[in-house]
């Protein structure tokens, strides 16, 4: 192979970046169409939050199935079919006129598609193409999600304000179908061996070392007998709860306190941009202070932010919350596999991190739903904010307890 030619792995990174750009923009747009949907249908926030909660649970369980399909059929077909499913789901959402139709098209169908184009799957795909600069390549690919969140959420708000929320879903569905489908067909390959290549930076003598390294590790059953995995799972449940309570209810909450719709939507967009800095900073923090301490700092900040929003609700406090909480949004994404491989080894890393990520997203669905229920009962989010500050405090201690055999992690 020509040494001066750009390694094909970088094209995979670019394609993954674009897929996640539209995926995240579509996923996090729910927060800005939340109130417009309620205004059309007259549903309670608890009912609409329940649809999002089901979406998260289906998504979480779908991750377990997608992992097996990925291993059997490769990423191209999993990504392609999942993209078609998301596009179909969004097109159906734009046309539905009933709760059952909305529930099926967004709560179930779109969730299955999101599972197949998610961060865990894309991270696994990119990691197969790189031996050196794996962290950089993965971070660049995942940055697409943060930038999509930042760029597309305000655009969805503008489209919704001018033409309605149905046009937003229709536009997102069509764009994902046209752009992501072509990219996946033309660029995505499961691993470099399909093109007669080696992972970027792999030398001949490195192959045996990697095979030996990847044979080490605990089984899922052995890992479940360790208290660290239970504390790890509790922390991730709380992490997901905070993430998706915030992205679902931040915009309607800000509107409740007099902040205009477009301004509140821009807050959610800035939240997405700050998540990029958190993602990029997570590696630096973990290298300097270790994974556990970095995650503990994250939850300390979250605890303080939820307390702040419980006490003060003005334009400045919502902006500060969006920017600072956004920074924490993806900190655990790159640290989860790093922490897991130190604790349990690489042999069964896929199924162990799959379980942990599933629990994370179930937590997200649970708290997104509970936030809507609390609003319907009390006509405000005070109890939800108090609960999230309490849970974030618990997550600090849960993270501290993730330790085995005196390891420095």
The pLDDT of residue 386: 98
Q: Give which of 380, 176, 395 is closest to 301, Cα–Cα.
A: 395
Q: Which of 215, 241, 267 is the last residue of a domain?
A: 215
* pTM, to two decimals: 0.90
Claim to verify: residue 208 and residue 231 sit in the same structural domain = no
Query: Quick check: is 58 in a domain?
Result: yes
pLDDT value at position 406? Answer: 47
Is there a single domain that holds both residue 151 and residue 177? yes
User: At 402, is the secondary structure helix, strand, or coil?
Assistant: coil
Mapped onto helix, strand or coil, the DSSP state of residue 346 is coil
Which of these three, 215, 247, 262, is where a domain ends?
Answer: 215
Q: Is residue 109 domain-shared with residue 138, that is, in the same domain?
A: yes
Q: CA nearest 409: which of 295, 320, 330, 324?
A: 295
Whether 353 is in a domain gets the answer yes
Do 338 and 284 lie in a common domain?
yes
- Are 173 and 227 part of one and the same domain? no
Task: Tell whether 67 and 210 lie within a shared domain.
Answer: yes
| Predicted pLDDT of residue 205 | 46
The CATH number of the domain where 7 resides is what? 1.20.1250.20
User: Mind listing the pLDDT tens digit for each residue in 355-375?
Assistant: 998 999 999 999 999 999 999
Provide the domain limits for residue 120: 1-215
The pair of three-digit structure tokens given for residue 308, joined into one six-digit string: 């702040």
Please give the full DSSP string across 92-131, using - where no structure is assigned.
Answer: HHHH--SHHHHIIIIIIIIHHHHHHTSHHHHHHHHHHTBS
Residues 105, 29 share a domain: yes
Q: In this structure, what are the phi and psi dihedrals at residue 401, rounded to the nearest 5 degrees?
A: -80, -5
Do 91 and 236 lie in one domain? The reply is no
Write out 290-345 in H/E/C secondary structure: CHHHHHHHHHHHHHHHHHHHHHCCCHHHHHHHHHHHHHHCCCHHHHHHHHHHHHHC
Residues with pLDDT less than 70, the chain: 1-4, 203-216, 404-409
> Is 409 inside any structural domain?
no
Identify whether residues 207 and 222 lie together within a single domain.
no
Dihedral sign for Cα atoms in the order 143, 149, 152, 155: negative
CA-based nearest residue to 77, from 117, 33, 25: 117
**In total, how many domains does the chain have?**
2
Within 10 angstroms of residue 84's Cβ, the number of other Cβ atoms is 17
Spatial contact of 181 and 76, defined as CB atoms under 8 Å apart: no
Q: Say yes or no: 339 and 246 in one domain.
A: yes
Do residues 102 and 43 both lie within one domain?
Answer: yes
Buried residues in 342-379 as b, exposed as e (16+ CB within 10 A): bbbbbbbbbebbbbbbbbbbbbbbbbbbbbbbbbeeee
Among 215, 232, 252, give the residue marking a domain's end. Answer: 215
Q: Residue 408 has what pLDDT? A: 52
Torsions phi, psi for 130 (to 5 deg): -135, 135
Q: Give the angle 79-333-317 at the CA atoms, nearest 5°.
A: 115
Does 375 lie in the same domain as 301?
A: yes
Cβ-proximal residues to 383 (8 Å cutoff; 6+ apart), any chain: 374
């Amino acid at each position: 192979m020509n040494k001066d030619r750009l390694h094909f792995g970088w094209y995979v990174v670019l394609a993954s970046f674009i897929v996640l750009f539209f995926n995240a923009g579509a996923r996090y747009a729910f927060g800005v169409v939340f109130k417009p949907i309620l205004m059309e249908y007259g549903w309670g926030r608890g009912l609409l939050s329940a649809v999002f909660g089901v979406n998260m649970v289906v998504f979480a369980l779908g991750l377990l199935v997608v992992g097996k399909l990925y291993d059997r059929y490769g990423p191209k077909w999993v990504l392609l079919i999942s993209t078609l499913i998301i596009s179909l789901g969004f097109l159906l959402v734009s046309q539905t006129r009933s709760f059952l139709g909305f529930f099926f098209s967004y709560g179930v169908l779109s969730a299955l598609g999101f599972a197949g184009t998610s961060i865990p799957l894309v991270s696994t795909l990119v990691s197969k193409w790189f031996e050196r600069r794996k962290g950089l390549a993965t971070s660049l690919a995942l940055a697409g999600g943060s930038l999509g969140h930042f760029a597309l959420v305000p655009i969805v708000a503008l489209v919704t304000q001018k033409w309605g929320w149905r046009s937003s879903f229709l536009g997102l569905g069509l764009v994902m179908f046209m752009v992501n489908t072509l990219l996946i067909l033309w660029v995505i390959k499961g691993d470099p061996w399909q093109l007669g290549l080696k992972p970027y930076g792999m030398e001949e003598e490195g192959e045996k070392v990697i095979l030996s390294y990847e044979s080490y590790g605990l089984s899922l059953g052995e890992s479940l007998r360790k208290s660290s995995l239970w504390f790890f799972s509790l922390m991730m449940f709380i992490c997901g709860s905070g993430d998706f309570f915030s992205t679902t209810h931040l915009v309607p909450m800000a509107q409740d306190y007099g902040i205009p719709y477009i301004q509140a939507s821009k807050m959610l967009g800035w939240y997405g941009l700050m998540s990029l800095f958190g993602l990029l900073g997570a590696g630096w923090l973990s290298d300097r202070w270790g994974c556990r301490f970095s995650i503990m700092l994250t939850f300390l900040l979250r605890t303080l932010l939820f307390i702040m929003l419980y006490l003060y609700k003005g334009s400045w406090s919502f902006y500060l919350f969006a920017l600072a909480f956004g920074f924490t949004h993806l900190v655990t994404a790159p640290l989860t596999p790093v922490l897991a491989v130190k604790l349990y080894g690489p042999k069964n890393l896929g199924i162990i991190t799959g379980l942990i990520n599933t629990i994370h997203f179930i937590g997200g669905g649970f708290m997104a739903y509970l936030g809507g229920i609390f609003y319907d009962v009390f006509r405000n989010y005070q109890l939800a904010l108090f609960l999230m500050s309490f849970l974030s405090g618990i997550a600090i201690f849960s993270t501290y307890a993730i330790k085995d055999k005196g390891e420095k992690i």
